Amino acid sequence: MNFNEEQTNRIEYIEAVIKKYLPKEEGFQKTLFEAMNYSILGGGKRIRPMLMLETYRLFGGNNQSYIEPFMAAIEMIHSYSLVHDDLPAMDNDEYRRGRKTTHIVYGEAMGILAGDGLLNYAFETACKAFAINTEGKDSAVLYDRIKKAARAMEVLGKKAGIYGMIGGQVIDMEGIKPQDSPVEKLNYMYKLKTSGLIEASMMIGAILAGANESEINIVEEMASNIGLAFQIQDDILDVTSTAEILGKPVHSDERNEKITYVTLLGIEEAKRQVEELTGKGLSGFDTLKRENEYLEELIKRLINRRK
């Protein structure tokens, strides 16, 4: 397998899927649509829809049109979270992926609305999966498909909401104090804020492909460890990388006086934690007794990335 070639093909496919579901830049609310599209089409590795697609394939899913609305939806939710993260009331960042953030280009108010628009439009888009390829299907097949899509919607809502990403963001904004059992609280925050959407991505892929509840639980645990390792690596890169490589400001955690794995445990221990969590995440493939060479390599590269 030529990983780089395979990744390029997948990113091109995912980009096409995302563009297919974006709003047309027309009408009285044209500026909002422009801001939404600017936010989501600003590059990125498309990690979450790719993890969703490859987990779908891991469990034998082969109807890509069925999963496409959810792939677009998860990236919309991820993009909205970045738009809001960058706002002056949050992290107050001017650059994201090497270019001006949405609120810098369109103004703070439109930045808020663009994030709101992407979040709501994500669920509108995901709902389109209920109507994919329904003609000529018997009632049992239709019921099964609707049941799986409904379960996927439940996961999407929870992992993106107050018991997931938004809940983690609340903890982040309120801050972690030395008296708070910092490592425990930091783990909890990262599980919600970062692992939440990664868990949603992989769980939805498994659900739509027909995985059973036991398998879905294993996937959730895999994704939780992968997400935590991914975020700790982000902490490390914030200290060791450069703005040119990352495409966003470095030392932002220090500037915002945030407690991270690096500030708590040091770089070497943080790296050890990344390695340990990676091993736990990848062990899920053995437990499931399923193979997807590309997915396994993707996870390794994401966690050990340099940008």
Distance of CA 94 to the CA centre of its chain: 21
| Whole-prediction pTM | 0.92
Q: Is 292 exposed, middle or buried (0-12, 13-18, 19+ CB in 10 A)?
A: middle
pLDDT recorded at residue 136: 64
* Neighbour-count burial for 234-269, b at 16+ CB within 10 Å, e otherwise: bbbbbeebeeeebebebeebeeeebbbbbbebeeee
Tens of each residue's pLDDT in the chain, 307 residues: 899 999 999 999 999 999 999 999 999 999 999 999 999 998 889 999 999 999 999 999 999 999 999 999 999 999 999 999 999 999 899 998 889 999 999 999 999 999 999 999 999 999 999 987 766 678 888 889 999 999 999 999 999 999 999 999 999 989 887 777 888 999 999 999 999 999 999 999 999 999 999 999 999 999 999 999 999 999 999 888 544 444 545 555 555 567 888 988 899 999 999 999 999 999 999 999 999 999 999 999 998 887 6
Q: Measure the CA–CA gap between 204 and 219, rounded to whole angstroms.
A: 10
pLDDT recorded at residue 132: 78
pLDDT recorded at residue 252: 57
What is the domain partition of the chain in residue ranges? 3-303
Q: Which of 112, 50, 258 is nearest to 101 (CA)?
A: 112
pLDDT recorded at residue 253: 56
Assess contact for 307 and 247: CB atoms under 8 A: yes
Kindly report the backbone phi and psi dihedral angles of residue 202, in degrees, each rounded to the nearest multiple of 5, phi listed first: -75, -35
Q: Which residues touch 103 (CB under 8 Å, ≥6 apart)? A: 83, 86, 87, 88, 110, 111, 112
CATH for 3-303, among 1.20.58.100, 1.10.600.10, 3.40.50.720, 3.40.50.11720? 1.10.600.10
pLDDT recorded at residue 256: 55
